[in-house]
Every structure is written in C-alpha cells, then in structure tokens.
Amino acid sequence: MELLYAGSVGLIVACGVFLILRSRTFPVVLGLTMLSYAVNLFLFASGRLSLNSAVVLGHSNDYADPLPQAFVLTAIVIGFAMTAFVVILAIRGRADLGNDHVNGQVPENHSTSNKKGRV
C-alpha cells in the first residue's frame, strides 16, 4: 500500500511540476492545482497509513492520527482560495497583457522553434 501511495503522490507531483514549467497560464494553474492535490495526499500520509483503526477514543487499541486530517482540511481550504485567486488573476492578466503567457509576452520564434519558444 505504501509503495502504491508513494508512487501515485510522486506521479502527481511530477505532472504538477511539468505543468508549472509551461509558459501559458492555464497549464500553470492546472499544475498548481495538481501540486496542491499531491501535497494534500502527502500530508494525509504523514500520520502513517493504516486500515481499520479507530478515530474515536475507547473503540479500539489502534488509533488513526487525527492531526494530519486537520492539516489536510486546512490545506484544502487555503489551496481552494488560492486557486480561485490565481484563476481570476490569470484572466485579468489575459485581458491586461493581451496574451496568456506567464511572462506577459509571446516569445518571438514561438511557432518555428520550440527550443527557445518554451519559457
């Protein structure tokens, strides 16, 4: 279970990082969302993965750690607000700058060469 879990978190982080490094705002926003999902999963796992362990005292010998769940909840709320903000900001950037590049300008040889075109 640990291996599968760690592998999936790693995969989502890799996707997120790849998307964040793109030059247009939409993939970047998607990447940030992916990254925050991965972070939430990771935080959740920091209380150790366990099956069938109780959350309420006095029901079992084996307890799940409640604190990481509180962390995840906080992180989800904050991540949600931040994503909403960055989406609005990206739309405003599209309107103000006339394009959706993170740098605010379309690279000159964007269509011909993809080596320099990607920022």
Partner 1 sequence: MIQHLTSLPVLLPMLAGVFLLMPPCGKNKNIRRFASVALSAITFLISLALLLKVQTDGTQVYAIGDWSAPFGIVLVADPLSTLLVCLSGLLGFVCVLYASAGEDEKGSFFHPLVHFLILGVNGAFLTGDAFNLFVFFEVLLIASYALLMHGGDKKNTRAALQYVIMNLVGSAVFLIALGVLYGVLGTLNMADMAQKVAMLQGDDVYLAKIGGLLLLVVFALKGALLPLHLWLPNTYATAMPIIAALFAIMTKVGVYSMMRVYTLIFGEEAGELAHMAQNWLWWLALATIVMGAVGVLASQDLRKLVANLVIVSVGTLVALVTVQTVEASSAAIYYLIHSTLVTAALFILADLIGRQRGKVADRITVGTPVSQPILLGTCFVIAAVAVIGMPPLSGFIGKVWLLQATVNTEYSFVFWPLYLLASLAVLFAVAKAGSTVFWHHQAKISEQRAAERALHERVHPVEIAALLILVACAPLMSIFAGPLSEYAIGAATQLHDFDNNINIILSGGQ
Rounded to whole angstroms, the maximal C-alpha distance in the chain is: 67
Alpha helices by DSSP H, the chain: 2-20, 25-45, 67-97, 114-117
The residue count of the chain comes to 119
Task: Work out how close the CB of 85 gets to partner 1 at its nearest, in angstroms, rounded to a whole number.
Answer: 6
Binding site for partner 1 (CB under 8 A): 20, 25, 28, 32, 35-36, 38-39, 42-43, 45-48, 67-68, 71, 74-75, 78-79, 81-82, 85-86, 89-90, 92-93, 96-97, 102-104
Task: Work out how close the CB of 116 gets to partner 1 at its nearest, in angstroms, rounded to a whole number.
Answer: 20
In the bound state with partner 1, the residue whose beta carbon lies nearer, of 54 and 88, is 88
Q: Report the DSSP beta bridge partners of residue 24.
A: 101
